[in-house]
Amino acid sequence: MRQFQSHGDGTFSATDLAALGENVVFEDGVRVWHPETVRIGTNVYLGHDAMIKGHPSGQILIDDNTWIGQGVFIHGAGGITIGQKVGVGPYVKMLTSTHQLPNRDLAILEAPLEFAPICIEDDADIGVGAILLPGVTIGRGAQIGAGAVVTKDVPAYAIAAGNPATILRMREP
């Protein structure tokens, strides 16, 4: 069995980040692990207790004019791109890794990890408590309902909700 080790407490300095634009707000309790893999654009808000878990295997980009709500959890081992003018509601989770499903002789916890990126395109909105799983793309202007579990791509301007998330309708032009 492998030994577990701490990744530290996530405290960081703005100068540790790979890039940091102007007018970025870090509310109290924001934590960033592996800040050297995290790029944050201009005019970005990160709410209280948001957790950004960078990883040497993947980059995290949060583009300009984006709002990240309190308690959001971003796990970037597979890479995450969050576009411009995106709203990410409180307590959203973005996960870019999963355990391979082994045969029954190997515990799932001991199985190798698989990584896949998450991409949230410009102008999208992710509702409170939604979960984005590895490999999904949220299209430009799409809306994800509160509590949705997104397992597949959501096209541009779609409104999706549920567990698993399904397309409810398209936004009108």
Q: Which residues belong to the active site?
A: 99
Q: 99: helix, coil or strand?
A: strand
Name the token pair of 58: 């993947």
Q: Cα-flanking dihedrals φ and ψ of residue 125, to 5°? A: -135, 125
**Rounded-to-integer distance, Cα 122 and Cα 41, Å:** 13
Give me the residue label for tokens 């990410």. Answer: 88
Question: What is the distance between the alpha carbons of residues 77 and 37, in angstroms, rounded to a whole number?
Answer: 10
